[in-house]
Amino acid sequence: MSFEKCYLQIINSLKGVEVVKDFPIGKYSRYKTGGYCDIAIFPKSEEEFKNAVSIVRGICPLEIVGAGTNLLVSDGGFQGAVILTEKMLSTKQSGNLYVAESGVKLSSVIRDLALNSLSGLEFAVGIPASVGGAVCMNAGCYGKSVGDYVRYVVTENGTLTKGDCEFGYRTSRFLKEKTAIIKVCFALNPSEPEVIEEKLKSYSNMRRNPKGKSCGSVFKNEGYFAGRVIDECGLKGYCKGGARVSEEHANFIIASDGATSQNIYDLIKTIKEKVYEKRQIVLSEELVYLGKF
């Protein structure tokens, strides 16, 4: 089906939902590199989200984007539709359970939990994710992951309890199967406000994000620290066009203003080749590609 036909069919089927043609999804990503997607859809409610997913799946390729902090968007963009969750912002607390729609920022969940004396997710302070992205990636640090605190996830296909989410190190069933996460219920522990504040302060102090545009860690730590291995291969400061291995933390690639996604991709490829040559380690990406590379 031609792009125009897809667009018209989506517009006609999703009355009242914001749909944008030729959306600069690359600029939306944290790297701010890469091209456009044909169609961007901004649902504002569970019903609009479910409806959009089911309609688009029958028409053209679909991707879901949260805060765009772990994405590398192809310079050629993405031929298809992207559902952006940034307007899915409802939350509800009941006892030690907290339900957040997928577009809510993790930082805002953590703030809200602190105000309600609920503890658990403090370790994630400083991860710039949306709830959907954090659960899809099973984001984490300091040996803890967001999935540890999930009670259930409402998806395009129904509700999954934690045991069905297949959480693993920076992965989940949602990442493998590309299933849309609509909202998430977290189970927390009641705690004293001072104790939570203390934890937040100490985790914030531990965080050292290198300066500049990045997607966080590019590679997974799988039995080794990727940053240390890359550093030991002498690659700190190594560049491809406008993309550079951070001098502060070798698992971060920093994009300068003139960088392209191809520069970042080429640098990732070179790092993998050099690390394999010198250490026989096959690095695998934590960052997610959107579009063709």
Residue 17: burial class (beta carbons within 10 Å; 0-12, 13-18, 19+) = buried
Could you list the active site residues?
170, 217, 286
Residue 70 touches ligand FAD, criterion: CB under 6 A: yes
Q: Residue 209 in contact with residue 254, Cβ under 8 Å?
A: no
| Closest distance to ligand FAD from the beta carbon of 277 (Å) | 27
* Residues that contact ligand FAD, how many (by CB under 6 A): 34
By beta-carbon proximity to ligand FAD, the closer residue of 188 and 287 is 287
Residues 274-293 that bind ligand FAD (CB under 6 A): 288
- Pick the stretch among 7-15, 139-147, 235-243, 260-268 that binds ligand FAD (CB under 6 A): 139-147
- Pick the stretch among 15-23, 123-131, 230-238, 274-282 that binds ligand FAD (CB under 6 A): 123-131
Residue 120 touches ligand FAD, criterion: CB under 6 A: no
Residue 134 touches ligand FAD, criterion: CB under 6 A: yes
Q: Alpha carbon of 244 to those of 10, 27, 254: distances in Å? A: 40, 19, 5
Residue 43 touches ligand FAD, criterion: CB under 6 A: no
The site map against ligand FAD for 187-226 (x = CB under 6 A) is ----------------------x----xxx----------
Residue 130 touches ligand FAD, criterion: CB under 6 A: yes
Which of residues 63, 77, 86, 272 is near ligand FAD by CB under 6 A?
63
Q: Alpha carbon of 8 to those of 12, 34, 54: distances in Å? A: 6, 25, 16
The site map against ligand FAD for 154-173 (x = CB under 6 A) is ----------------x---
By beta-carbon proximity to ligand FAD, the closer residue of 27 and 274 is 27
- Pick the stretch among 12-20, 62-70, 89-97, 192-200 that binds ligand FAD (CB under 6 A): 62-70
For residue 223, the one-letter residue type is G
| Closest distance to ligand FAD from the beta carbon of 4 (Å) | 26
3-class SS letters over the chain: CCHHHHHHHHHHHCCCCEEEEEECHHHHCCCCCCCCEEEEEECCCHHHHHHHHHHHHCCCCEEEECCCCCEEECCCCEEEEEEECCCCCCEEEECCEEEEECCCEHHHHHHHHHHCCEECHHHHCCCCCEHHHHHHHCCEECCEEHHHHEEEEEECCEEEEHHHCCCECCECHHHHHCCCEEEEEEECEECCHHHHHHHHHHHHHHCCCCCCECCCCCECCCCCCHHHHHHHCCCCCCEECCEEECCCCCCCEEECCCCCHHHHHHHHHHHHHHHHHHHCCCCCECCEEECCC
| Closest distance to ligand FAD from the beta carbon of 117 (Å) | 25
Residues 242-281 that bind ligand FAD (CB under 6 A): none
Residue 147 touches ligand FAD, criterion: CB under 6 A: no
Residues that bind ligand FAD (CB under 6 A): 30, 63-71, 85, 102, 127-130, 132-134, 136-137, 139-141, 170, 174-175, 180-181, 209, 214-216, 288
